[in-house]
A and B are shown apart, each in its own frame.
Chain A
């Protein structure tokens, strides 16, 4: 019970750590994204951290909240907006999130990798109060993917501050929070309950089928959705924050960020922070010997490219007769987003073109990223009329 309460409190403090994003007219989803990015960067830069050292930002954020709330009492527009909202069309989205939550909390959508390394690394980092590079580059730990970006394990470590043991159920439940916040971002951006419900039902289903609870996909999905929403809203600062989060969450997040910057961003204000964070992480990993400890068995093979494309085409069905792609194709119009999705698919075909790729283990999880890009091609058309 105590472990669960600590996880909840520390997760709520992530919102406070991101309160500085208020200057960009942010919403709660953005606070959470900004909080995660802030804490992850703090934990990497600090080296060995202390609980109180990391607490400074969340506490400052809470004080800021309190001051801002006192000032806001003169203006109640946000409250009015909420109370005027018609809740009935939100029910399908809430239902999708409920089904996802029940499945996750029944331990029926847990990733094996959560037990192998996402949760394990988080617990280790918290125990050592540092991003433990010595532990990561130990040859015995190569199966734990030392080169993976550290945001999710660092988030788990944050929730453990002062304790020896991770709340494994709480960490698993964070998948629900990530999907809920992504749905909220879609709802706020499109102002369409239909799109929010479609997004929630589709990605709840895919998250269950791909057993992603506890690993980094839900966090990556959240950052990707937020970045694309912010780009549509022409909010460069929030897009940059979300792309920083994607870069620090998974290697695919870095590829996503590069594609988005090249095809959709095009403004230096969007590109600079995520590229700086990506460069910083790669330098950190390189200087600490984390890149060298990658498994050498998976070298690119040109001869595997065509089989890789064929198998990828098969995996794209999601075991659902290609229904997610068909549904979005019926609505899609933004060629930029379709091009971005195709670019990501090309990256996947290349990355899986190797003798021991085991595409069947992971491709459908990774395919959620091009699907998100494709999904936004439908939203664009709607907004442009």
Chain B
């Protein structure tokens, strides 16, 4: 390989390495994350709090219980919340948030992300930074 090509390759390699280090530092440097998304995305703190809440639900709610995950102030994201619920609640049965709507087959539990659930059929049984876990009482 010619000297000129070697110089180009190594110069850009060092530049990309430096930029990678900068990128890593900007994202909080080396750390021991609590969730897979703790330092990623647009709002990592909120995402982490939500995943920690779901982890709590996965460990404490009865296996095979019907659980809906919902953002009470962001119902546009119901489909996304259902997808996340399927992944993060491996032992429970995730159901769409539409099950909470009138005439729906109301779930046993609701994980409400970011805001309280305003539904008289449910009582809060756990609260954390990411939201709360609610149990159906009526």
Chain A interfacial positions (CB closer than 8 Å to B)? 92, 95-96, 99-100, 102-103, 105-112, 114-117, 119-120, 123-124, 127, 140-144, 164-166, 168-169, 172, 192, 194-195, 197-198, 201-202, 204-205, 208-209, 211, 213-214, 320, 323, 327, 330-331, 382
Contacts and interface: CB of A to CB of B under 8 A. Distances in A.
Interface in B30-65: 30-33, 35-41, 47, 51
B10 A194 contact: yes
Contact of B82 (A140, A169, A204): A140
Given A106-B27, A106-B28, A194-B9, A169 B36 contact: yes
B82 A99 contact: no
A172 B27 CA distance: 17
24 contacts: A96-B16, A99-B24, A103-B24, A103-B27, A106-B32, A107-B40, A108-B31, A109-B27, A110-B40, A110-B41, A114-B37, A115-B36, A115-B37, A117-B83, A120-B83, A140-B79, A143-B83, A166-B90, A201-B13, A201-B16, A201-B17, A205-B23, A330-B8, A382-B5
A194 B6 contact: yes
A25 to B, nearest CB: 25
The 4 closest A-B pairs by CB, nearest first: A120-B87, A107-B33, A108-B27, A201-B16
Contacts of B80: 116, 143
Interface of B: 1, 5-6, 8-10, 12-17, 19-21, 23-24, 27-33, 35-41, 47, 51, 79-80, 82-84, 86-88, 90-91, 96
Contacts of B5: 194, 331, 382
A64 B33 CA distance: 40
A172 B83 CA distance: 18
B13 to A, nearest CB: 5
Given A115-B37, A169-B36, A194-B1, A103 B23 contact: yes
Contacts of B10: 92, 194, 197-198
Contacts of B31: 106-108
A204 to B, nearest CB: 5
A237 to B, nearest CB: 29
A120 B36 contact: no
Contacts of B30: 102, 106
Contact of A112 (B21, B27, B40): B40
Contacts of B16: 96, 198, 201-202, 204-205, 323
Given A99-B21, A106-B31, A327 B12 contact: yes
A92 B14 contact: yes
A123 B90 contact: yes
Contacts of B29: 106
A169 B10 CA distance: 33
Contacts of B28: 106, 108
A93 to B, nearest CB: 8
A294 B27 CA distance: 34
Nearest to A102: B30
Contacts of A209: 23
Nearest to A135: B86
Nearest to A122: B87
B9 to A, nearest CB: 4
B46 to A, nearest CB: 12
Nearest to A326: B12
Given A120-B83, A124-B86, A107 B14 contact: no
